Amino acid sequence: MIDRVAPRAISSLQNETVKLIRSLDMRKARRETGLFVAEGASVLLTARDCGWAPRMLVSGPDAPASTAFAALRAWAAASAADHLDVTAAVLEKIAAKENPQSLIGVFEQRWAALPVVDTDQARQSVWVALEEIRDPGNLGTIIRTADAAGVAGIILVGNTCDPYSREAVRASMGSVFAVPIARADHAGFVTTARSWPGDVVGTHLRGTRDYREANYDRPVLLVMGNEGAGLSDALSEVCNELVRIPMIGRLDSLNLAVATALMLFEIQRPILRSSRA
């Protein structure tokens, strides 16, 4: 039986657990195992604070210098996680190429159910639907922004990039642990949108209303289009309003994550109050 408290010292790149963690860079392996990787002490502390439990904790030679190390180690032990203490050479292969971290966690993916608006709290909520989002950096940034804006959850519609890819997790800065993420095909999303009791607001370059003039009756379902093709006709039709963010300049649109941020902070404006105000 593995001693779950004492870390396992690992120096071989041929170790099966090391090979498994490396394979999680590939979407196919993430899909088959249901696992994903998150890096860095502050991201792991966010995971802990959001009630997640790691399946594995990997620490490199520099990890003990981190003030968070003891806390994360205790969390891993309490979660009966496998703790691997790896050499610098192994860590180099497991950690990100850019800004590698000496503490890495492996987690089970969580997928939320599509929202059911049946409580007072749910009737006040804001959800964001992202149609066919392709760029994991955009997705991670949107997850982070949704967390900051107090969004109840995100729905990934159709064939989207993976929120549990390393790039999306990194761009979310740990918010992937805080924001429920659901997924739906187009038909499933259309069913949800048609029975939505509040405003279903689409963003479209041909939107007829300035986004600052819409009402946003809660619960709000905000629908954002694909980076290249924009919002499809099928999803535009289920929106009871299409809004546009007015622009000056030569380009026809904003980056998807920027447009989502503008929309969310406008929708949430009535409830967002500066603590210094």
The tokens describing 201, both together, are 């607001």
* The binder of ligand SAM chosen from 60, 105, 158, 225 (CB under 6 A): 225
**Residue range at the interface with ligand SAM (CB under 6 A); choices 28-36, 114-122, 144-152, 227-235:** 227-235
Shortest spacing between CB 233 and ligand SAM, in angstroms? 12
The rounded Cα 248 to chain-centroid distance in angstroms is 31
d(CA 90, CA 11): 6
Shortest spacing between CB 146 and ligand SAM, in angstroms? 14
Interaction of residue 205 with ligand SAM, rule CB under 6 A: yes
* The binder of ligand SAM chosen from 128, 203, 214, 264 (CB under 6 A): 203
Shortest spacing between CB 221 and ligand SAM, in angstroms? 13
**H-helix or E-strand containing 15?**
none
Closer of 21 and 146 to ligand SAM (Cβ): 146
Interaction of residue 245 with ligand SAM, rule CB under 6 A: yes
Closer of 107 and 127 to ligand SAM (Cβ): 127
**Residue range at the interface with ligand SAM (CB under 6 A); choices 21-29, 65-73, 119-127, 244-252:** 244-252
Closer of 184 and 205 to ligand SAM (Cβ): 205
What 3 state SS string does 21-47 have? HHHCCCHHHHHHHCEEEEECHHHHHHH
CA distances from 22 to 29, 102, 158, 210, 226 (A): 9, 15, 27, 47, 30
Interaction of residue 244 with ligand SAM, rule CB under 6 A: yes
> What 3-state DSSP class applies to 72?
helix
Interaction of residue 109 with ligand SAM, rule CB under 6 A: no
| Straight-line distance from the first to the last Cα atom of the chain, in angstroms, rounded to the nearest whole number | 57
d(CA 253, CA 103): 39
Shortest spacing between CB 163 and ligand SAM, in angstroms? 18
Closer of 94 and 130 to ligand SAM (Cβ): 130
Closest to 196 in 3D by CA, of 243, 152, 240: 240
Closest to 201 in 3D by CA, of 266, 134, 269, 122: 266
Residues contributing to the site for ligand SAM (CB under 6 A)? 203-205, 207, 224-225, 227, 230-231, 244-245, 247, 253-254, 256, 259
